[in-house]
Structure 1
């Protein structure tokens, strides 16, 4: 068989193989990548490109290598969903760069982030003055999330209707994956007992909660693991 035909067959086979692997990994791989996912993507791409062009390489060994590199992220994502501690190790934690309009230089140094880079990211979001920012957080995928101060935000219908503007702080996550984030709860000025009482008043246990947040007014938002099932059951009862 001529070499160019073998290269074509290898390339087409690998393209379909990578398409299948991408579908298997899920849509998360198409969005912003974590450090590990970034490394995996580069390595798989490099192996696939080399394997399609170098006919002297063993095709079976190359495909086996691609499969191993592709399956590892799937295994890691499964463990990450089950353990926040493991997820923090693999994906890292979000880092606050600006709080109450003030730049936290220590946090920026930890992330090897310069003032010019911070200003560039703010300008991309049409923000040219640091003092207009209430919070700016570097997410684990490298994206900078920004919350403007209340007076700098666009006016909402509720502000016009109620004719009042109240100070807004970012919501604080106090429960994640059925586990209390004790340090965050205490840092926010609340106690673990107080949060437990709130759960008991709703006849829920912390293990039932997928995500729990508290806003500046002390209101708790809870998203439960099986809340969609409860909604479905209610509709079935109404129809029955």
Structure 2
């Protein structure tokens, strides 16, 4: 076999082996590398290059070395899962950098972090004054997480005493002009419903780049033609308006009748509907 053909076959074999091994190591190997995982990635890549280019008869030993490295990595991950002490030794512990607005200089030196680097990490969290920081900690991955003081934390509906509805993951029901049946079935919907919603917006399926349905059953579409404007769904707003109109009608009926029993009934129904509106309003105002 010519050398070039043998190298091509070995490269393909190395790619296949690397794919299988990285799948075994999991997504964390790619997204958040610890120090050992970083070394493992470099070493396995070097071994794969050896398998591809070494023309000697012992090239297969590179595959053995890759398997050993992956086995050691899996064993270390197992230890980390089972033992807190092993996690502390392998990944090290998190380090507090700022406490009560005060920078801990000794911990900065321990992590070999300069003041400029600390300020850069804080700016990534949209923090520009260390005095605004209640607590800052460097994770074993190297990321710095920040807890702002109470007065500097952003307002949330909970702070204002406002109830909001839970938000579920939107489902992509149209992608690249093609209807996705599985997400539709997950929502309990079908193609007929989707076609009806598209007719309301006046667009065809083939003109939709992406279509998503939220937890309230509202369809949002993004078209290939960015110049076209698509009206936003008004299902929840229309339902809330209808409920308020019914409440107003009940109050008007109560005022327009002279019968005491009917007036009492309309007033009671109006109060009950008002309570229903208060209960469902968090679901309809988002």
Pick the TM interval, shorter chain. Answer: 0.5 to 0.7
Question: Superposition RMSD on alpha carbons, in Å?
Answer: 1.4
1:15-94 equivalences under 5 Å are 15-56=15-56, 58-94=58-94
Residues 35-90 of structure 1 deviation map (CA, whole Å, 9 limit, x = unaligned): 11111111111111232123236222000001111110110111121111111111
1:162-173 equivalences under 5 Å are none
Partners of 2:3 and 2:146 lie apart in 1 by 54
1:142-161 equivalences under 5 Å are 142-161=142-161
Structure 2 residue matching 1:72: 3-state secondary structure = helix
1:166-185 equivalences under 5 Å are none
Matched with 2:9 is 9
Partners of 1:32 and 1:135 lie apart in 2 by 23
Partners of 2:122 and 2:82 lie apart in 1 by 34
Instruction: Normalising by structure 1, report the TM-score.
Output: 0.64
Instruction: Please say if residues 99 and 136 of structure 2, whose CA atoms lie closer than 8 Å, have aligned partners that are also in contact.
Output: yes
| Structure number with bigger Rg | 2
CA drift at 1:98: 0.7
Partners of 2:83 and 2:68 lie apart in 1 by 23
Instruction: Please say if residues 50 and 59 of structure 2, whose CA atoms lie closer than 8 Å, have aligned partners that are also in contact.
Output: no
Partners of 1:130 and 1:15 lie apart in 2 by 47
CA drift at 1:15: 0.7
Instruction: Normalising by structure 2, report the TM-score.
Output: 0.54
Residues 166-223 of structure 1 deviation map (CA, whole Å, 9 limit, x = unaligned): xxxxxxxxxxxxxxxxxxxxxxxxxxxxxxxxxxxxxxxxxxxxxxxxxxxxxxxxxx
Instruction: Please say if residues 51 and 57 of structure 1, whose CA atoms lie closer than 8 Å, have aligned partners that are also in contact.
Output: no
Partners of 2:49 and 2:153 lie apart in 1 by 47
CA drift at 1:155: 0.5
Structure 2 residue matching 1:158: 3-state secondary structure = coil
**Bigger relative contact order, structure 1 or 2, given CA contacts below 8 A and separation 6+?**
1
Partners of 1:144 and 1:50 lie apart in 2 by 37
Matched with 1:116 is 116
- Unpaired segments ≥5 residues, structure 2: 163-286
